[in-house]
Structure 1
Amino acid sequence: MDPSAASGPEAHRHSGPLSDAERAEYDRLRSAEGLRHRRLRQFGASVLLVLAILLAPVSVVATWVNSEVNDTDRYEQTVSPLARNPAVQSLVIDRVTDRLIDVIDARRITEDLADDIADTLADRDAPSFVVDAAKSLDGPLQSGLTTVVHYVVQKVVTSDQFATAWDEVNRRAHSAVSTVLTGEGGGVIEAKGDTIVLNVGTVIDEMQEQLLGTKVIDGKNIPGVDKSIVLVRNDNLGEAQDAARLLGILGVWLPVAVVVLAALGVWVAPSHRVALMAAGFGVGVMMCALLVALAVMRVVGLDAVPPDAQTQDAAASVYDTLVRFLRQAAVTVLVVALITVAAGYLYGPGQGARAVRSPVARGTEAAGHALARSGLRTGAVGRWLHTHRPVTTTVVVAAGALVLFLWDYPTPASVVLVLVLVVVVLAVLGVLGAADGAAADTEDGPPDAGPGAAAVERGG
């Protein structure tokens, strides 16, 4: 038998329509394959989004460290308030006064001065009780000297000239915060072993000139004093500095990696909108965790302050000043995350989302129709905008996100500003898309056209 003849009817039988059983099997296999493909996409998206969410707070901290180490202007903005903070000023005034009184040996000076007065009175045949009273003047003299030194130090520290000098010295050095973060160099705030100290060299130097100018004591009585005040003592400071150095290296690339991971996760996910909302929610939770961690670190750091080193108010002021930009960055990312979740919800099928979208859509369409009826029609451009509304919406939202990403140091206010601009641009595009004239012609008909013409246009 000819093989072709035998195979012909068989091939013809299988090339015909599928039977019900074959159709059911085909649908089952197709459904199983689709379900498997969907699960793979969900798994891949979940991995990418989890990585992005976990790295989000690390990228915020890394960006903050990198900006403080490499940006002189940002560094100056960070440490500048320290010279003007009342708690820090009080700490510096008290500590510098105490150090100077100890270093110049005020007790010896006042005792010698009291003895000289007593000897002078004795040489002038003063009564013995007067001579004895003069010898006991060392206490009041020391108190008076302390008062004078304290007054001069306070005058220097609270002056505008000192604040200006503080800014200039720190700008030239650009090492205060970076030395704490990396453990290298020296500056206003410096890491020494397991302690963080506040260097007040500029205060001491300026104050010495003030003291010498008042002729209270001679320059030989002001040796090189210890020009630092212990702020925090922590046994784990070295490990923290190692982590900060690593974050400083990753500060440029880690935020980009987080954005890329999140974007890939949203693209791979079967439901882009749900994935976007999940990413926003996860990042928002991590930013809240970062803010809580900063608050806990503040409490732990204040507890580590030596009682004899400084006041709690001064330590709190220093900590709040140094990390305020990190807090601001975390709050900014939190605001962006909340806006992302809200936008994802508003574009969804929920009743609440429809309740918000419907009046907005009717309002833009009504404004566009009114614009067209007034003679200001957008024509082909408006029709293109109306037809390609999803594309224009995506472009505008992406442009707003890019502006925020490229913004040097965005704040919650800048995020709100960009959001308002995006909403305004979308509203304007919606009005222009509705002002193409078609709707107005549908309602009113072309000029000089009767009902028949309007009916024809409605049919077209």
Structure 2
Amino acid sequence: MSAAERDEYERLRKAAGMRHRRLRYSAASVLLLLAFLLAPLAVVAAWIDSEVADTDRYVQTVAPIATEPSVQNTVTDRLTKRVVDSVDVAAFTAAVAQTLRREGARPQVIQGAKALTGPLTSALNSAVHDIVDKVVTSDQFAEVWDDANRQAHAAVVKVLTGEGSSAVQAGDDSIDLNLGTVIDNVKQKLVDRGFDQAAKIPDVDKTITLFKTDKLNEAQNAMRLLNVIGTWLPVVVLVLAALAIGSAPAHRVALMATAIGVGIMMIVLLVGLAVMRQVYLDSVPTTALPQDTAADIYDTFIRFLKNSTRTVLVIAVITTLAAYLYGPGGGARWVRRTVAGGTGATGRSMARHGLRTGATGRWLDAHGKWTTGIAIAGGALALVLWNYPTPGAVALVLGIVVLVLALLGILAAASGTAGHPPAGDRPVIRPG
């Protein structure tokens, strides 16, 4: 080719390369955008799926509700009122006054009998409240609560899909807690203590409204969809992120962008949960449930969702830092030199004191990239296999991986090779 033809060829080749590069950037951007938008939904869907499918997980979720002081106080007050209301103290004192009148008692005595209505009601209320409080705050109550929820795990399915029956029930416009078992237990305790009228408490109004909404049907439809995709949506997000990183021209930069984007979406999800908390509290009338009780119920029920969100956020931050430290930045190079210098000095000190690793150390030194990758992959696998990892679990796995990497660096440096300098500074010896 002539010089002009060669120049034209190079120009066309560069133009084609630029178009290909822009196409890869566009594909990676679209894939990352989808991964970012689906990430919060995937976390929520996985949480719902675990609550529905895992009985132990569900019981762990609702068990603390029975031991929350605000919930116990609300239940005690409600049950006490229902028991006292079932006893007609006024009719009793009126009957006593009528009997005294027939017996010819003085008017002052008759009036005194009628005046006993208030004190008797107060005394009855105090006595019943003490008994109910002992029942509700006892370990037996917590055990009954756990057993009832374990045996009726369909409660979650009932709330989310409107199917089945359990202690937690979905009404036409509300989600209610059925206290039938607790009320029966309290009635028996009262009868045992001599309050025979407790046996006549009617079997009605045994529910406490936890949540009222005129959008329950729409919410249930959304929950059904989330329940169906709960298993696969997280997988889809991971695949989209992997494809985006693989298709991007700069894999490390794409990994950092992915981690940063997912981390931001987790923060958005945490803010959304805080907003939903206020929406929930505003939707609960104080006549139905005190604000502190409603807040404790909400916080208890979603605490595992918040933990999962924080866990993903911590993983995103760690991934971002790791991707940066493997980059060409001045700060990253300084960190790598400092770490390599520390492990190298420790290893060479071991070798000088006779603790040489010999051929094993030389092999580790020659295959440093492979061993580093295996250690990191092992940590990632541990998190994948961990059943509901928490931020603490992520920190533990990270600490173990860092410790393993440091140990590998020390063993590589302790091979005992004479004049063993850092890998990046070793002279190249050529034959001849």
TM range (shorter): over 0.9
* Aligned position for 1:350: 329
Give the greater-gyration-radius structure (CA). 1
Per-residue deviation, 1:402: 1.6
* Aligned position for 1:433: 412
Aligned with 2:169: secondary structure? strand
Per-residue deviation, 1:286: 0.5
* Aligned position for 1:246: 225
Instruction: Calculate the TM-score normalised by the size of structure 1.
Output: 0.88
Per-residue deviation, 1:38: 1.4
Cα displacement string for residues 145-198 of structure 1 (whole angstroms, at most 9, x for unaligned residues): 222222221111111111111111111111333322222223333221111112
* Aligned position for 1:255: 234
Pick which of 43-52 and 207-216 moved more.
43-52
Q: Structure 2 counterpart of 1:391, which letter?
A: W
Which runs of structure 2 are paired with 1:202-221 in the superposition (5 Å)? 202-218=181-197, 221=200
Consecutive unaligned residues in structure 1, runs of 5 or more: 1-17, 444-455
Aligned with 1:230: secondary structure? strand
Q: Structure 2 counterpart of 1:149, which letter?
A: V
Cα displacement string for residues 301-333 of structure 1 (whole angstroms, at most 9, x for unaligned residues): 100011211110010011001100000000000
What value does the CA root-mean-square deviation take over the aligned residues?
2.1
Cα distance in 2 for residues equivalent to 1:229 and 1:397: 50
Cα distance in 2 for residues equivalent to 1:154 and 1:220: 18
* Aligned position for 1:58: 41
Pick which of 22-31 and 324-333 moved more.
22-31
Cα distance in 1 for residues equivalent to 2:354 and 2:402: 25
Tell me if 1:413 matches 2:396.
no
Consecutive unaligned residues in structure 2, runs of 5 or more: none
Match of 1:229 among 200, 203, 208: 208
* Aligned position for 2:12: 29
* Aligned position for 1:179: 158
Q: Structure 2 counterpart of 1:437, which letter?
A: G
Cα distance in 1 for residues equivalent to 2:415 and 2:29: 43
* Aligned position for 1:152: 131
Cα distance in 2 for residues equivalent to 1:257 and 1:119: 79
Instruction: Calculate the TM-score normalised by the size of structure 2.
Output: 0.93
8 Å contact kept, 2:191–2:199:
no
Cα distance in 2 for residues equivalent to 1:423 and 1:220: 65
8 Å contact kept, 2:188–2:199:
no
Cα distance in 1 for residues equivalent to 2:118 and 2:280: 39
* Aligned position for 1:165: 144
Per-residue deviation, 1:271: 0.7
Go from structure 1 to structure 2 and tell me whether the alpha carbon gap of 1:184 and 1:273 turns closer, same or farther (over 3 Å shift): same
Which runs of structure 2 are paired with 1:263-278 in the superposition (5 Å)? 263-278=242-257
Which runs of structure 2 are paired with 1:62-77 in the superposition (5 Å)? 62-77=45-60
Cα displacement string for residues 357-398 of structure 1 (whole angstroms, at most 9, x for unaligned residues): 111011112222223333333333333322222222222212
Per-residue deviation, 1:290: 0.5
Match of 1:83 among 54, 66, 72: 66
Per-residue deviation, 1:120: 4.2
8 Å contact kept, 2:83–2:198:
no
Match of 1:138 among 89, 92, 117: 117
Aligned with 1:218: secondary structure? helix
Cα distance in 2 for residues equivalent to 1:229 and 1:98: 13
Q: Structure 2 counterpart of 1:63, which letter?
A: A
Identity level (%): 55
Cα displacement string for residues 49-96 of structure 1 (whole angstroms, at most 9, x for unaligned residues): 222221111110011001110101101100000110011111111112
Tell me if 1:49 matches 2:32.
yes
How many residue pairs get aligned? The number is 427
Pick which of 321-330 and 194-203 moved more.
194-203
* Aligned position for 1:10: none
Cα distance in 2 for residues equivalent to 1:442 and 1:79: 59
Go from structure 1 to structure 2 and tell me whether the alpha carbon gap of 1:352 and 1:265 turns closer, same or farther (over 3 Å shift): same
Per-residue deviation, 1:438: 2.6
